[in-house]
Structure 1
C-alpha cells in the first residue's frame, strides 16, 4: 500500500503540520476539512505555537501598509557576500483585511502584547480612531466599540497579570479635562478610571510600547513612565541613562529586545553620535537600570550624513547589531544597520517603502478573542 499524506497516522500529520510557519497556517486550514479540524485542536495549537515561538524570538515583524491592504511581515538579518548585514523582508505575509475594503481607513499605530495586536485605524474623513484586537495565529479580530468622541486621545495595550486579560488604555483630553479609560477585552466593556495622569504624557504615548504586560513610554526625553495594567495605575517616574540637561530637540526613542528588555536610542543633534542602551534590570513599574549596548561615533554619522527623525529600531544582541528604520516623509525611506565594530550601512527600502509601522518581536498565542 502506498502511503500518502492523506492516510498518514494522525500523530505524524500533527508533527508535520506543527512545523509549518505561522503565516501559512491559513493555507493549511483551507487545504482540507481534516487539516482544518486538526489545526484548531487545542493540543495541536499549543504544540505549533511552542515551535513557532522559539523561532519568533529570533524574528522581528513589521507592518507593510498598502493602498488596499496591510500585512504583517517578518524581517531577518542576513549576511551579504561582502560580510555586511542586510535585511530579508518576507513578501508572503499575514494579511489584515480591511472591513469591507474601506478605503477611508488607514493604519495609524500597532501595539503588540503577548501575541495579540491592537491596531489603531484613523478615518481620512474626520481623523476619528477605530480599534480592533487581532490574533494573527487564529486569523481572528474583534472590533472595539468606540467610547465617546474626544478631541485628543492616545492608546496603549497590555494585560492584567492577575487574570491574564488583555486591556486597552485610553488617555483623553477635552479642553482642560483629563481622563483615563480602560477597555477589558474579556468583558467587551469600557470604564473610566478614578485617576489622572501628567499632562505631558498624552503628547508622548504614541511612542510607548508594551513589555511584560505593562506599557512604557518616555516623557520629554527625561523620564520613563510605566502604566501597570494589573493595578491600573502609573508608576513613579523612572530615570533614563541620559545627561541631566540637554536640548529637547535631541532624539530619544524606545524599543524592546525580544519582549524581555527595554532598549533606548539617544542621538544628540549637536554631536551626531548615537548611544544605544538596554535594561539589565526592569521590575514592573518601579525599578529600572541600564547598561550601554554600544555607541556610534560622530564621524561615522557624519559619513552617512544622517539625522534621525523617526525612531523605529530593533537590536540583535548576539550579532551586536542595531537596525534603525527611518520612515520619515513619503519617499526615500530606508534602514540603517549599526555594528558594534563601528561599521554602518544605509539601505533604501525600495518596494517596501510603505513599511511605516514597526511592530517588533511577535510571539504567537492561542488566546481566543
Structure 2
C-alpha cells in the first residue's frame, strides 16, 4: 500500500479511501484462499514483520509482506511487545515509553502516552487491545488495557489502567484486587474484542498436579471493563510445564501444553468460548512426544510459553522458539505434523539475545480506521 501511495497524488488519495481498502482486502482474501495461504505477524529481535504463510507439501513457506517502520518510512521501529486485535496492531516500544497502535494495511498510526513514568517495574507491564462488544454500540470503541502484577516487590504491585480511544486523554486506573496471577511474559490472545490469558491462583504454594488449586483461563471483557470468572482448562498444569495460547478459526482458542516429566505436547481447540464460559473439544487437535522427535536431545519448549499457530486444513502446528542446542541462539519455527510423528525445523537466523523469544500470532487484515 505504501508503494501504491508513492506513485502519484491520485493513487495516494484513492488508496486511503475506505471503499478502496475494503475492495483491496476482498481481492487479497480471495487470492489467499486460492493459494491456501494466511497472514501472521512475527516479532524477532525487536523487529515486527507481516508475513504470508503457506505449506508446499510438508515445507513451511514464509514470505515477508512488510516491515514496521516509522510513518515517513525513514527508520526501523523496535518493539518489546506486539498485540493483534481486529486487524490492528498494538506495539510497545523497546526504548520509548509511548505506545503505538496502527493498521498495517491502512498505514494509519496513533501514538498514546506512556502508562507509567519511571516505574522500577516497567518490564513487568503487560498490554491488551480490545473493543466494546455492546449490541447498542454502533461503532466499535477500541481500548487498551495495561497491567502489572509484581509478587516479588514489597508491597506487592498490582496496577490496572485502561485507555479509551474515543474519549480518553489519559489512562484511567481500575480499582481491582485479583486473587490470581498472570506472569508478564504470558501472551494474551484477543478474541471477539476481549482478551484471554493463562492464569494461576495467587500465592498458591502447591501446584495443581499435587492437589493445589487448578490453573485456569481468564478473560478481560472490554465492554464491562472487568475480568470474568475462572474458566477450566482441559489438562492439569504443573509448576514447570509449558502453556501457551493462540487463535483458531478466528473465533476460537487453541492452547499448547507440554509436560515437563514426559515432554509430551498436547494442543487443544475450544468449541465454544465467551468471557463467562468455555468448552473444549473431546479430541486433541495434535499430540506429539518430543523425546522421540528430538532424540537424543530431550527438548523442552521455553517456560515463557512459545507462541504458535495451527493450520487446521493441513493438521499441523508451527511453534516459534529458540533452537534446541544448548546455546539457544537461533530463532526457529518447529513444524509438527498431524499424527505427531514428524518434526521439521526452519532456521530464521542467529539472534543476538538468546533470552528474547521469537513471537508469532495469526493476523487477519481489516479496513478499520483509527480516529
The reply to whether TM is greater than 0.5 is yes
- Give the structure 1 partner of residue 217 of structure 2: 224
State the shift of 1:286 in Å.
0.7
- Give the structure 2 partner of residue 156 of structure 1: 128
- Give the structure 1 partner of residue 207 of structure 2: none
When the two structures are superposed, what TM-score results if normalisation uses the length of structure 1?
0.80
> 1:30-49 to 2 correspondence within 5 Å?
30-49=6-25
Distance change >3 Å, CA 66–CA 333, structure 1 → 2: closer
Mapped to 2, the partners of 1:120 and 1:367 lie a distance apart of 20
- Give the structure 1 partner of residue 286 of structure 2: 294
State the shift of 1:194 in Å.
3.1
Mapped to 2, the partners of 1:352 and 1:205 lie a distance apart of 22
Mapped to 1, the partners of 2:48 and 2:69 lie a distance apart of 5
User: For each residue in 1:233-290, what CA deviation from the matched residue of structure 2 results, as whole angstroms up to 9, or x when unmatched?
Assistant: 00000000003xx5310111111114221001111021121111000111x2111111
Distance change >3 Å, CA 359–CA 352, structure 1 → 2: farther
Matched, 1:95 2:68: yes
Distance change >3 Å, CA 223–CA 325, structure 1 → 2: same
State the shift of 1:205 in Å.
6.4
User: For each residue in 1:295-314, what CA deviation from the matched residue of structure 2 results, as whole angstroms up to 9, or x when unmatched?
Assistant: 11355334373221141110
User: Aligned to 2:6, what secondary structure does the other structure show?
Assistant: helix
- Give the structure 1 partner of residue 188 of structure 2: 208
User: Aligned to 2:160, what secondary structure does the other structure show?
Assistant: strand
Mapped to 2, the partners of 1:197 and 1:56 lie a distance apart of 43
Pick from 345, 362, 368: which aligns with 1:360? 362
Equivalent pair of 1:56/1:362 in contact (CA under 8 Å):
no
Distance change >3 Å, CA 276–CA 66, structure 1 → 2: closer
CA RMSD between the two structures: 2.9
Pick from 80, 94, 97: which aligns with 1:108? 80
Distance change >3 Å, CA 304–CA 138, structure 1 → 2: farther
Give the paired residue count: 330
Structure of higher CA gyration radius: 1
- Give the structure 2 partner of residue 14 of structure 1: none
- Give the structure 2 partner of residue 73 of structure 1: 50
Mapped to 1, the partners of 2:310 and 2:328 lie a distance apart of 25
Q: Which runs of 5+ in 1 are unaligned?
A: 1-24
